[in-house]
Amino acid sequence: MSELSLHTFEPPSDHKVSVFDELDSTNQEALRRAPDFDGTPLWIVARRQTKGRGREGRNWVSEPGNLYTSFLFRPQCSLSTANQLSFVTGVGVFETVRSVLGSSPQAEQIRLKWPNDILVDRKKIAGILIESFLASQSHEPVIAIGIGINIAHHPVLPDRETTHLGAHVGGVNPELVFSALSRELDQSIEQWDRGRNFDLIRQHWSERAHNPGERLSVRVGNNRFEGVFNGLDDDGALKIKLDTGELKRVTVGDVLIPRPSSDR
């Protein structure tokens, strides 16, 4: 594991960046740095991960060509408020993908899936894993936002469709996508303002996500149920109206979006 001395990944001027040819995972590197973190926002980028992780302990296939990165920073808020960063980041990555796709027809087919997957034509193109730590000296929350964006290729998964940016637009590479991501996420975090503007972030997320009344399938552990999307509550929990009329609040789970029968 060696850090590259030369790179073309350029973050905002007040952020630092460390770029690696190979890491176990960028979030794992963030974990190693968290105890002595000095507070200067840091991007960690790996061209390849050997032990990439997704939500719920899933393996994240991490061969060269895609973007694998983590953003380490102090949100200057409580850990409970920092949970809102799932939606903040979702909006930032959504805008990143839309920026890269530009005028491509697929730019109109980008959507967010609760809580923070990004889809193009119902196919997953990016994922987010957020982990929290406590700084050893200040005991302030330190957050690692892990982001993977499929650029040159995508994995074949048994339970969901996937895609990559290169399938929809040419001339795209990890450096270009990182430039857009570091800009868009910075703007989204600034707009969130340590939780003061979460209502606005929730509105932005809702405008980019499920349609009202859209049918969703939710898996929580070994249990699975279906219903229609009924919005988010004040803290971002998913509200599902079951066929019985019961309104179910979901704080943890995996959402699957069935394709209309005409698309199958």
Residues 131 and 251 in one domain: no
How many alpha carbons fall within 13 Å on the CB side of residue 186? 15
- 153: domain CATH number is 3.30.930.10
Contacts of 64 (CB under 8 A, 6+ apart): 47, 48, 152
pLDDT of residue 67: 97
The pLDDT-based confidence of 195 (bands split at 50, 70, 90) is very high
> Per the domain annotation, does 9 fall within a domain?
no
What total number of domains does the chain contain? 2
- 232: domain CATH number is 2.30.30.100
Residues 247 and 147 in one domain: no
Cα→Cα distances 130→27, 39, 82, 144, 169, Å: 8, 17, 10, 6, 28
Residues 141 and 157 in one domain: yes
The range of the structural domain enclosing residue 241 comes to 215-263
The pLDDT-based confidence of 156 (bands split at 50, 70, 90) is confident
- pLDDT (tens digit, 9 = 90+) per residue, 90-147? 999 999 999 999 999 999 999 999 988 999 999 999 999 999 987 766 678 999 999 9
pLDDT of residue 36: 84
Residues 124 and 228 in one domain: no
> Per the domain annotation, does 151 fall within a domain?
yes
The pLDDT-based confidence of 8 (bands split at 50, 70, 90) is confident
Buried b (16+ CB within 10 A) or exposed e, 204-229: bbeebbbeeeeebebeeeeeebebbb
pLDDT of residue 58: 62
| Model confidence, pTM | 0.91
- pLDDT (tens digit, 9 = 90+) per residue, 201-248? 999 999 999 888 899 999 988 899 999 999 999 999 999 999 999 999
pLDDT of residue 261: 53
CA distance 261 to 13: 49
pLDDT at position 2 over 60: no
> Per the domain annotation, does 95 fall within a domain?
yes
pLDDT at position 30 over 80: yes
Tell which wins on pLDDT, 109 or 7.
109
Mean pLDDT of 29-53: 92
Burial of 196 (0-12, 13-18, 19+ CB in 10 A): exposed
- pLDDT (tens digit, 9 = 90+) per residue, 51-79? 887 655 566 667 899 999 999 999 999 99
pLDDT of residue 171: 92
Q: In the numeric block, which tokens belong to residue 262?
A: 């005409």
Q: Residue 178: which of 73, 71, 76 has the closest Cα?
A: 71
pLDDT of residue 7: 47
CA distance 175 to 178: 5
pLDDT at position 4 over 50: no
Residues 85 and 153 in one domain: yes
pLDDT of residue 143: 97
Q: Residue 23: which of 58, 70, 89 has the closest Cα?
A: 70
Domain finish residue from 161, 183, 207: 207
